[in-house]
Amino acid sequence: MGVDITVLIVDWTHLMGIAPRDRLEVLQASAYTDDDSDTDAGWVWPTEPDRSWLGRYEFDGTLGSYKPHFWAAEAWGDVRGAASTSLRTALDGFLGALIWAELDLEGDTDVEPGVFPSDAVPWRPGPLIARGPQTVARLSQCWQQAARALPQLRDSYARDAACPGRWIADFDEFTRLLSGWAEVVGEADRRRWGIIGLPI
């Protein structure tokens, strides 16, 4: 069994109104219901009033697996040395707050302080992401800077990171996954909501 990820955008005010010890359990229970539409990609917006405070994003071609996100992060590590300084800074900021663990060396984590108790444990082991509206606004700016320069990595990616047959086999798959994260960040920023990633 592989590791999965469910990416949500959430009304941060609503989430912070839930008792800290209950937040993770409420999120896990609210992420899916039996009557959710079965979409392959894009947004799933719950119709129940008591779940109107969140939306779920399905990444194209991932089937909910975390593996494509892992391999996209690995690919960034392979090609970041070929990026211009401005692109490197922007994508470090964007991916480092979501799926790229290298920046943890500076004390950064994928969960912002105070969102969950330190002993909170998801139902399943795997990635746990929690980014509030202020961080989301910064990530949106990072993506706007990175998106313009991203095409300059195509040749370097083909040389240093392409791996046919693997998740995120080429530059087009890499940019498609990053564009999915950009959609998540952009929608959360428009609403002034936060982002949650759960290993379910």
State the pLDDT at residue 37. Answer: 60
SS3 45: coil
| Nearest Cα residue to 198 out of 35, 13, 30 | 30
- The per-residue pLDDT for range 41-60, each reduced to its tens digit, is 899 999 888 899 999 999 99
State the pLDDT at residue 108. Answer: 42
SS3 83: coil
State the pLDDT at residue 102. Answer: 55
State the pLDDT at residue 103. Answer: 43
State the pLDDT at residue 107. Answer: 39
CA–CA separation, 88 and 152 (whole Å): 11
Question: pTM score, two decimals?
Answer: 0.91
CA–CA separation, 112 and 108 (whole Å): 9
> In the chain, which ranges are E strands?
6-10, 42-44, 54-58, 129-131, 194-198
Residue ranges of the chain with pLDDT lower than 70?
1-2, 34-39, 101-109, 124-126
What is the CB neighbour count within 10 angstroms for residue 3? 15
CA–CA separation, 174 and 167 (whole Å): 9
